Amino acid sequence: MSKASPPVVFITGATSGIGYQTALQLAVKDFEVIFTGRNEQKVRATLDALQTVNPRREHRGYVAELTLVKEAERLANQLLRDLVRLDVIISNSGAVYTRRQETSEGLEYTFALNHMAPFVLVRRLIPLLRQNGGGRVVMVSSHSHYSARLDLDDLQAKKGYSALRQYANTKMMNILFANALDRRYGQEGIRANSLHPGVVRTGIGYKHSHIPGRVAWWLFTRFKGISVEAGARTPVFLATAPDGIEKGGKYYSNCREKQPHPLVLNLNLQEALWARSETIEQEIMSK
């Protein structure tokens, strides 16, 4: 790893909310920020903001619709061509979908965006971390994972859909994936951790929601929420502090290690989710 060149972070979903603030705070800390968004205008605006806070670095934004496995794969291939260095991956993009709907690839939206996108992207980018002599993967999960009811035979909630339950399930998948990654690559100095950013006043509860859901989110975050600046603290901590590279397979909240739901430590579950996700990915890629 060249100590002369600046550290490089890749963040998904940096066009608003926690990802946007994380990108800005890391740019201030002299990171070169590579990020994604789904909207071209917002990607351009984010890039302008990053160049303003740190014009010394060559930040780059990519447009990708991450509910599609093939888009995640296309983006990964593009990054493998464009980047010569990568130190940290922050998998942050995510959403809550009030109604059950399927993407053009036939996946339930929450599962597709919150789990399959990072599953496809992060695995493909591991060689970039490896070629750098190691690196960090930070999965932005949620406290809601404690209320998950994961059914490996119904990952896409076909049997019955509850938006909050499916969201919680995918957030548990984030931790299972981080822990499985850490076991696979920790020996090579590639450490993966996951986190809860806090209840943060972002637009996540408004984007794919009906009016009662939006009102509930507004009330909840108005009285219980923290600012986006505060919400970025734990991702920034894991990207920069010694903890994020010395330890792996850990869950953090408020910049401190916290006991996650015991299920995420279950190796069989980690591996079963990995195998099923791989099968889903292969089925889509073969079409």
- Residues with catalytic function: 167
Q: How far is the CB of 281 from ligand NAP (least distance, A)?
A: 17
Among 7, 135, 197, 260, binds ligand NAP (CB under 6 A): 197
Residue 167 CA, distance from chain mean position:
13
Rounded to whole angstroms, the Cα distance separating 63 from 61 reads 7
Region binding ligand NAP by CB under 6 A among candidate stretches 26-34, 194-202, 239-247, 269-277: 194-202
Asked if 24 is part of the footprint of ligand NAP (rule: CB under 6 A), the reply reads no
Chain positions 156 to 185 lying near ligand NAP, rule: CB under 6 A, are: none
Order of strands across the sheet that contains 32-37: 60-63, 32-37, 8-11, 88-91, 135-140, 190-196, 251-253, 256-258
Cβ count near 67 (within 10 Å): 26
Closest CA to 30 of 88, 93, 91: 88
Report how far residue 20's alpha carbon sits from residue 27's, in angstroms, rounded to the nearest whole number: 11
196 is a contact residue toward ligand NAP (CB under 6 A): yes
- Which residues inside 74-113 make contact with ligand NAP, applying CB under 6 A? 92-95, 113
- Which residue, chain included where needed, has tokens 């015991």? 262
Q: Select from 186-194, 202-210, 256-264, 269-277 the region that touches ligand NAP (CB under 6 A).
A: 202-210
DSSP run (H or E) holding 63:
strand 60-63
CB of 151 to ligand NAP, least distance (A): 20
Q: For residues 30-49, which are near ligand NAP according to CB under 6 A?
A: 37-39, 42
Q: Which residues bind ligand NAP (CB under 6 A)?
A: 13-19, 37-39, 42, 65-67, 92-95, 113, 140, 142, 196-197, 199-200, 202-204, 207
